[in-house]
Structure 1
Amino acid sequence: MEVNGLLIQQKEAYQKTLLKKYQAAYAQMSKTLSDTEKINLEEEIKQLETSIQATQREINELRVPQKSESESYRQLSNVWEEELHKINYSKVESALNTIFKPLKRREGSALFFIRKSQDMGGKWCIQKIKHRIQSDLGSGLVPRSIGFSSFQNADAMGVLSRLAERYIIDMPVEQNNLKGCTQAIIKRIIDSLESGQIFLLEIQLYRLQPHDSFLKWFVNDFWMPLVSQLPAISSQKRNIRLMAVLAVQGGTVSKGCLSSDLCCNKKNFNGSKIFELTLQRWTEPEICDWLFDFSGLTAQVKRLNDDQIEQMAENIHYVTGGIPNKVYHELMNAMTHCTS
């Protein structure tokens, strides 16, 4: 028999003994007693009640399966993944403050661009954007995500065909009908949105060739026409926001495919054009603060003290150079080791 089962049997037997004493004490109350005897008996009954209730709680706790180490680790691991975007995106935060402020309680748009997304933690930046959208602009987030396999190059028809699948549109995919396909998708997106919703399109790209025309098509032929629909529908559908994130995993992005006429900056922000989000390396103090705030390592059975947390942050920053994706893997390895 397992240990918990044996303990439950012993405690149940002890509880039965307490109940018999409790019943006997109550039976005594009906007899003729002196004031002193009555006070002592009442005190004994109270103590027995307390003991019976405490024993029952112990039995209940033994009957509840204890969390396994793997379950506890999964819970911690989920917290780590969810909170990682809080290490450092200060420049992104500053940009979002400026861009989102005019979009509160009114329609508008924003088109973000991230380069070297794989190394620089683009996925946590996008996570940050989603958190900020929901906290600043409302709960009506409508996310749409598009990705390309490693053997595919991003192109206009690839994006349109994936959106057509999402919106269940039966449309031709011939290259010579690109304009018609684009218009059909734009109409379907606009028709699908309701007041207060925030449409967020996320497109993951492996790389862009030096003279790739994808960004030019996306801005001039897809995004600008989509955003131009907002004024016309604002009287029927209020506070619709259109947003997109283009994340390039690796490689350099040349001026040939990202020309200045496609872009805007914080000073001259234009929601119809590309705004680049600059991602930074994570510093040792930022890693250290995050470990204290979100790792949970100071509250584990094998808890770490302040010096150990600081040493962990220093070593992780040293071997990763603060590159977010490398920091992530070192953090996960170190924290997993500490909780196993």
Structure 2
Amino acid sequence: MSLKVECQKEELAEALQLASTASRSNSPKFALKSLRLGAESGLITVLGCDGEMWVERDLACEVIESGGVLVDAKFITSLVSAMPSGQVALELLVEDGMRVQQGSAEYKVLSSDPQDFPEPPDFGGEGELTLKFSQLQDALDSVLYAVTTDPHRAILTGVQVSYDGATLKLVATDTHRLAVRTIAQEGMGSSLSVVIPDRALRAIRSLPVGADDDVTIRFGMGRLGVEAGGARVVAQMLSGAYPNWERVVPSEFSRTWQVERDQLIDSLKRAMIIASESANRVKFSGSGDSLVLTAKSEELGEAKEEIPMIADNGQIEVAFNGRYVLDCIQQIRGPGIRFELTESTRPGVIRPAEDGDDYFCVIMPMSLT
């Protein structure tokens, strides 16, 4: 084994950070918590893998000696990220691992044989989806916050992505809230319905791609693959049936509130200082042309915020998890927010006051007492 390269610190740190999104720091297998560095022909390739997802990044650098090595992902990423701007030299030593050097600073990193690392698998060409990278990022931001973190609900750790030739739909839920983003656009690719892991989508969202560049996601053999900006992501898709989320979306409502987005965000952030000590519960009360937000904590005290609103039959009090409401409304780009309600014990729908068919959230209520 051999390897000796010199790279710009910022570019190397970015490549390490991207590839390390696929590694597992708690894995008992050294390879799966490592990054594989391979250098040849003026490029260093950084590859991370957890057995289900592979993230790879190519980086132009000065290759003095070609070769490859495995190093701990968390350590090498943290080390290079903490270094000042300038050239960083990596050199595989005969017996002492890999040396990382910048100026007078020198570190030795334990290393292993890169042959132990699993290669990225092939995936077929059963379908594909192409859209502007900025459009993809915006759509992902609209739903990723609602993905569950509960590993026992594996199918809900991903986003359902479906396309029928005219409409792209992304759906995420943790059973307490639901986020749905719709993009009406023909010619984006093949009809499909898949569930993509949260981690894979976050890696794709972080690809070094220009906002106006097209990104194509290809599907096949139970996997997805993306190649763009000198980076590649390959990941297993989630298997199993995604829940019938449409049945939890209220088909009708009898009350509406319409408020100014920025005012609601500011008021809710302040109320959350108190609510964070009481399961994030915030009470929303419609009263005439005002929406009143209250939160209470036995340890800290009480909060009350009042903002103007336009209401239709808006006399109702309902409690929501304030964090869930914030997560939703911060993804709305327009100036107005619309709440659609029925009773204090029924789910509420939040959407933009204008063009509200493209994005909405459903949030389950909390107890008022």
Quick check: which has more Rg, 1 or 2?
A: 1
What is the TM-score when the length of structure 2 is the normalising length? 0.18
Structure with more of its chain in helix, by fraction? 1
TM-score (norm 1): 0.20
